[in-house]
Structure 1
Amino acid sequence: MILYELISYDVMRVIWWLLLGVLLIGFAMTDGFDMGVGALLPFVGKTDVERRVIINTVGPVWEGNQVWFILGGGAIFAAWPPLYAVSFSGFYLAMFLVLAALILRPVAFKYRSKREFSAWRNGWDWALFIGGAVPALVFGVAVGNVLLGVPFELTPQLIPMYPGSAFGKLFGLLNPFALLCGAVSLSMLLTHGAAWLSLKTRGNIAARARDIGAMSGLVTIVGYAVAGLILLFFIDGYAIVGEVVKDGPSNPHFSEVERTGSWLAAYLDRPWIVIAPICGFLGMFMVMKGLREDRAEVATLLWSKLGIFGAISSVGLTIFPFLLPSTLDPTSSLTVWDASSSHQTLFIMMVATVIFMPLILAYTAWVYSVLWGKVTEDEVTGNSHSY
């Protein structure tokens, strides 16, 4: 009770904004290489045995990695209910597209090896490609649309309203800037998957993965830079004007928001956040360099994780305190200060997180230590329990 009183409502909101970022970055760092490996599968694996090796590098861990995605969705639902309601209801078809692609992955893992016909296995290999490439692309498209602003408004009763049809809203998300962000996301996770395969495989598989990963790393760097320039010169940001009430009720209409200036003005107000894009560029450059030179695989994978951390955190830090800006009615924009659950709810969730998050991390570390080492063709063909 004393701790509850010591941590104020505004501080608790920032803590949960940080935790949401941790969950999303954790998902990209772990399940991201699963998706990258799936998207690389048809191009890196030339024979059935090679593709089995690739699949078995992620087969034992992908389910655990996907837990981060579930935790992220749960955190949005519990800590940021208005954000969950507005985003999930407004982008239902886009969410359905992601879920349909993700559903293909477990089915493909389980059914691919049930029959030995090449057509059967090739079909499931492309299902794994879809299950990896589509979510990676759509997640980036979503980030691009958050930076642009989303066409919704809240009624006085805080009911989200969207103009147009469901398909119109879906195709409206596929604008040039959002597609650029989607391409950056996809290439970034392809690079991450290549770094993982470089660590977990040998021979031709690792060599092909390094070649593709080096190219996708370059695409990531260039696309990330171009997106930043577009943000600087062509896209207006949002700002809260007037008094900012950080511990007030969760009602966006209590804040006055306007479109003004550039999102990148945040780097003038908070210069320290430049560390995020620096990490993004540095991490991607070093992983690209490591893949080209066939250097230490563990370091290359860690550089890839740093690049992902920098790229994702740069978005959150740039738009803070906004969570989901509105283009139709800027006053309806959701921010850290007006879209959270109650103080008590956030505190109870924080206590649960402090208890269970270390257990999850410890278990994950133990699993990876047990499964450490490269996956070989002899191991796959000689093990009846492999995929």
Structure 2
Amino acid sequence: MVLYELIDYEILRLIWWLLLGVLLIGFAATDGFDLGVGTLLPFVAKTDTERRVAINTIGPVWEGNQVWLIVGGAATFAAWPPLYAVSFSGFYLAMFAILFALILRPVGFKYRSKRESARWRNNWDWALFVGGFVPSLIFGVAVGNVLQGVPFRFDPADMRIFYEGSFFGLLNPYALLCGLLSVAMFVMHGASWLVLKASGTVAERARRYGSLAALAVIVLFALGGIFLALGVSGYSITSEINRAGPSNPLLKTATHDGSWLANYGTYAWMLIAPVLGFLGAAAAFLALRAKWEVATLLFSKLSIFGIISTVGLSMFPFILPSSLDPRSSLTVWDASSSHITLFVMLVVSLIFLPIIVAYTAWVYKVLWGKVDEETVNDKSGHAY
């Protein structure tokens, strides 16, 4: 037996599905508060000094947090090639909009204080708002479209991918609802971060906006579930499933008349995910009102974990369903890389992922403490 056969192909596929979820949750739980702070910037900070306080709460950490997104894209490319091909080509304009918005963030950090002009700085502050709001919205819109099915298909002759959707077709009512949920979730998270890291008026305003965002998360998450149950058809596999078979989606048959809630009837333990989504947001609201700091951020992360896990567990084993040809839908069992590729990647991940997590934890420990007006007005030049 060769080394990679020590772990069954089926188990490796399941492990990499879980790791993909870990990377998405890691990005949302870390860079999510960066996006939230950017979205809140024009509202929680009115003066130049206040905005500098808000910016400097995320300035030292946003680059490290964004690594989760980069690693997630790389892992998708290596572990789930068809998923990468369909999503990055079909959602090309949406991805470009996200990329453009994210580019505004480092440019805004570096250039807003290069001139004393109030108009110059205000323009860059709105650019930072765009850099937070647009990705938050589009990420949610993308999830909403995935739940409804994406208009792509495979050519049976040569397995070429054909995407037949449009950018504006992505902006449907359910997808926009998911987009608003995503914005509310990141605003809640960003406010939780500002309560922990900022001081004075900025933290107080963040507490108020964060409380409203937490309530919005509860309402929008509930509405998303109701529409998912009543108005959005799920997908189901109708043929025998070969969990260790070749990565060819066309070897199965599937239908678009199922329910995304069916998994919860089969595996009742999965209900813990939506429960955590609701309880985390409710606890974050109460913690914000009680002026707790660390607990607020932890509850916000718990809500993010629950909401994203709900999507993954509801769709399992589907990863990217096809609204044009349900048979072309990508699942955990037919869209992965080879057995040996997944094994080698797992070994590499087990070596380097703990190092990355440990280094990140050390960075946050070193940077622990609040940012106040005295910090940003220090003439040492270390603050944005």
Query: Which residue in 2 is equivalent to 1:288?
Result: 285
Q: Report the equivalent of 1:322.
A: 318
Give the CA deviation at 1:3. Answer: 5.2
Per-residue Cα deviation, 1:124-158 (whole angstroms, up to 9, x for no partner) = 10111000010000000000001000111110122
1:267 aligned partner? 264
**In 1, distance between residues paired with 2:327 and 2:376?**
57
**Is contact 1:324–1:333 with CA below 8 Å preserved after alignment?**
yes
8 A contact 2:41–2:54 mirrored in 1 = yes
1:213 and 2:207 aligned: no
Q: What letter is aligned with 1:326? A: S
Specify which of 292, 299, 310 is matched with residue 303 of structure 1.
299
Q: Is 1:348 equivalent to 2:340 in the alignment?
A: no
- 2:261 partner SS: helix
Matched to 1:122, the amino acid is N
Q: Are 1:52 and 1:380, in contact at CA under 8 Å, matched by a contact in 2?
A: yes
**Corresponding residue for 2:94?**
94
The 10-residue stretch of structure 1 (314-323 or 376-385) with the greater mean CA deviation from structure 2: 376-385
Q: Secondary structure at the match of 1:375?
A: coil
- Which residue number corresponds to residue 313 of structure 1? 309
Query: Which of 209, 229, 244 does residue 247 from structure 1 map onto?
Result: 244
Partner of 2:370: 374
Runs of 4+ in 1 over 3 A off after TM superposition: none
In the alignment, structure 2 segments of 5+ residues that lack a partner are: none
Deviates more, 1:214-223 or 1:1-10: 1-10
Displacement of 1:261 after TM fit?
2.8
Tell me if structure 1 keeps the 8 A contact 2:86–2:163: no
**2: CA distance, partners of 1:268 / 1:325:** 21
**Displacement of 1:8 after TM fit?**
0.4
How many aligned positions are there? 382
- 1:222 is aligned to 219
In structure 2, C-alpha distance between the alignment counterparts of 1:275 and 1:3, rounded to whole Å? 36
- 1:290, CA displacement in angstroms? 1.0
Any idea what the Cα deviations from partners look like across 1:318-364, whole Å, max 9, x if unmatched? 10000100011000000010000000000000000000001000100
Cα distance in 2, alignment partners of residues 158 and 324 from structure 1 = 16
CA distance in 2 between counterparts of 1:171 and 1:217 reads: 29
Secondary structure of the structure 1 residue equivalent to 2:189: helix
Secondary structure at the residue paired with 1:260? strand
TM-score (norm 2): 0.98
User: What is the CA deviation profile of residues 237-273 of structure 1, one whole-angstrom value per residue up to 9, with x for unaligned ones?
Assistant: 1011121010111100011111123111110011110
Partner residue in 2 for 1:150: 150
Ranges in structure 1 where 5+ consecutive residues have no aligned partner: none
User: Does residue 1:331 correspond to 2:338, yes or no?
Assistant: no
Question: Normalising by the residue count of structure 1, what TM-score does the alignment of the two structures yield?
Answer: 0.97
Contact 1:259-1:330 at 8 Å conserved across structures: yes
Partner SS for 1:161:
strand
Equivalent position of 1:44 in the other structure: 44
CA RMSD of aligned residues (A): 0.9
Identity value in percent: 64
Please give the alpha-carbon distance, in whole angstroms, between the structure 1 residues aligned to 2:54 and 2:76: 33
What letter matches 2:175 in structure 1?
A
